[in-house]
């Protein structure tokens, strides 16, 4: 059974990739991922703020003004202690590359051009096989138009591509008004892959302490549906590889991702919940399912349930929304008299 796939120009032994996680700042964990069958790993994200304010300068800047606004520090992570910092991150790339044979992908988290060009080249020099640009941004400025945001993204991708020799993946948010159009723009800028979608960690309200507090919730398979929908729509319309991240937990989730049109399915929450060896059991299940359903390879199923392959493409559009609503039947409770 041929489980191989291609992604970012690499031939991978299977379609399961470990998406970015702080736990992958350990070479021993990265080696364990490879041993479990993971085909590639995306390292923890290095943040734009870490590049701008390294070391003690960061703490000094974040502390400025807190005499007046005592809660202000709670809005910022203690980035000095988050992962290994910019210098340590480059060393992680070097060590990981010497420890494993699978592709090692660096993750850059930010939205502006400040510092990225230099650091992306440094990461390339350190030996990473590719870079994933994580466009993690919530636009709160009411004067900033969506077209300006997308133009900035495209310009950043264009500049990075012009300065790098290694492939570039772009991780997107699902909040774009027209994801298919944005995918086309980024494809035209040279993005080698598009990763759908970013997961935003949303703060919660503590109504007793009247505080805004961070809250981490791992993904679940239900989140996969949004990713399947848009990958299925975009598949065949761009040259960039497509990857699904968020909601990939089971054998069925991986199969659906391939049938939508993805080259790889990225997994982290399931590994955090069930352990690194979970990837191995998913791969075994994938091979068994393919054999039972007479699939010989991953490319054979890729895109088979995409928009362009659907007998009735309207199932991806508004008419399906109305059909779904009309199909719901209110449960009736029998009352005995």
pLDDT in tens, 134-145: 987 777 889 989
In this prediction, residue 65 carries a pLDDT of: 45
End-to-end Cα, the chain, rounded Å: 61
Distance CA(307)–CA(260), nearest Å, equals 8
> What percent of the chain is predicted at pLDDT more than 90?
62
Strands (E) located in 13-134: 16-18, 40-47, 104-109, 130-134
Instruction: Please name the residues in contact with 118: beta carbons below 8 A apart, sequence gap of 6 or more.
Output: none
Domains of the chain (ranges, CATH numbers): 5-303 (3.20.20.70)
pLDDT band at 54 (very low <50, low <70, confident <90, very high): low
Residue from 167, 169, 163 nearest 133 by CA: 169
Tens of pLDDT, residue by residue over 262-298, are 999 999 999 999 999 999 999 999 999 999 999 999 9
- Contact in structure between 64 and 73 (CB atoms under 8 Å): no
The most confident of the ranges 8-17, 68-77, 113-122, 204-213 is 8-17
The pTM of this model reads 0.86
Two structure tokens written together for 171: 């991780």
- Token representation of residue 164: 């790098």
Model pLDDT, residue 138: 75
Q: How far is it, in rounded angstroms, from Cα 69 to Cα 26?
A: 36
Which 3 state secondary structure label does DSSP give 220?
A: coil
**Which 8-state DSSP code applies to residue 297?**
B
CA distance 227 to 188: 21
């Amino acid at each position: 059974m041929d489980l191989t796939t291609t992604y970012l120009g690499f031939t991978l032994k299977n379609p399961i990739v470990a998406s970015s996680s702080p736990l992958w700042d350990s070479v021993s964990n990265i080696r364990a991922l490879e041993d479990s069958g993971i085909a590639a790993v995306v390292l923890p994200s290095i943040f734009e703020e870490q590049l701008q304010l390294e070391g003690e300068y960061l703490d000094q800047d974040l502390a400025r003004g807190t005499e007046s606004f005592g809660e202000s520090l709670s809005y910022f992570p203690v980035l000095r202690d988050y992962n290994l910092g910019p210098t340590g991150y480059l060393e992680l790339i070097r060590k990981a590359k010497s420890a494993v044979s699978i592709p090692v992908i660096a993750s850059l988290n930010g939205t502006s051009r400040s510092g990225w060009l230099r650091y992306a080249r440094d990461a390339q020099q350190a030996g990473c096989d590719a870079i994933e640009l994580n466009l993690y941004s919530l636009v709160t400025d009411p004067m900033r138009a969506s077209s300006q945001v997308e133009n900035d993204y495209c310009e950043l991708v264009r500049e990075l591509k012009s300065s790098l020799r290694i492939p570039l993946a772009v991780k997107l948010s699902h909040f774009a008004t027209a994801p298919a159009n944005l995918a086309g723009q980024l494809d035209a800028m040279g993005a080698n892959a598009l990763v759908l979608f970013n997961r935003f960690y949303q703060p919660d309200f503590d109504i007793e302490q009247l505080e805004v507090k961070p809250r981490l919730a791992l993904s679940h398979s239900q989140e996969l549906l949004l990713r399947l929908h848009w990958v299925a729509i975009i598949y065949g319309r761009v040259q960039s590889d497509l990857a699904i991240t968020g909601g990939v937990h089971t054998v069925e989730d991986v199969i659906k991702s391939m049938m939508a049109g993805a080259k790889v399915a990225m997994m982290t929450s399931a590994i955090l919940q069930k352990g690194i060896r979970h990837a191995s059991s998913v791969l075994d299940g994938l091979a068994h399912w393919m054999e039972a359903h007479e699939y010989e390879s991953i490319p054979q199923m890729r895109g088979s349930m995409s928009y362009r392959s659907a007998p009735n493409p309207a199932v991806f559009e508004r008419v399906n929304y109305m059909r779904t609503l009309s199909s719901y039947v209110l449960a009736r409770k029998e009352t005995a008299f």
